Structure 1
Amino acid sequence: MVEVTLQESPFCPFCEKLRPILERICEALNIPFFRRQVSLDPHIWGGDAAHETFKKEFLEQHAPDLAEDPFASALSEYLSKRIHTPVVVISADLPSGPLEIVIRGFTTKYGQETVAFERHLFMLLSSLKEAEKRTKRFVHTIETALRR
């Protein structure tokens, strides 16, 4: 199943601009849309999905040369303790396995970049939704053939 989660912090102006766009796209494609409040205090709401990308382990795995740089490591450590909202998490169960796409950040200005972002997000989600439909049709066809 394809679903979209907006991880937002209270009073985030970027979240307020992104939320209606996500709601509109998800409604048009009939994709479940969830909102989740996040904070640095895990006892309140929990952290966001993006702060993981700043952890030392992530740096060592994806950018080993940066992990050795003391300045980059210090900056990464600092950023891993911050909330980066809005964060859009797109989850899909595909035949090849589960997929999770994390998109961080947004703008408060509505312009060409926003229109392009909206168009690309719509295309991505509609492609994932179509893959989901094809998988269901394929499974149904196989099940029907096996019953005969």
Structure 2
Amino acid sequence: MQESSHKICTLADAISRRAAWKQENQQVVFTNGCFDILHLGHVDYLEKARQTGTKMIVGVNADSSVRQLKGPTRPVNNEYARARILAALGFVDMVIVFEEETPLNLINELLPDVLVKGDDYSIETIVGAKEVIANGGKVTTIPLVPSYSTTNIIQKLKN
């Protein structure tokens, strides 16, 4: 069995793979997040996101980006560990770590056919939605599993 770390790409590699998938008429899905402590909510969400296309790219916030978004005590797991765990999921085709607070640059470079976020977002508030729609793609939300979040897990451990 091949190690899944080959799914973790630089931006240049991601652009190249995306172009190849486009030539093959693959329906490319993009989603992103911190994915700090992988849990049922993440797996359910990612599995459903993948069902909206034939290939899925997951953008993962770098450690510095997670600290900006979640505070100085996060992430619990470093960016390589988070990327490697996501890459091991069979329904994830590519993982790319990004330093910025949002994945807008990645979305602009990769122009996915489908952009997916959880239903805690509205289409109007999803970063990159305008760009994907302008390129002929679609933007959709996936219902989240109630009560599952990394923040809740950390709070439970503290209690």
- TM above 0.5: no
Q: TM-score, normalised on structure 2?
A: 0.24
Bigger helix share? 1
| TM-score for both structures, normalised by structure 1 | 0.25
Select the structure of larger CA radius of gyration: 1
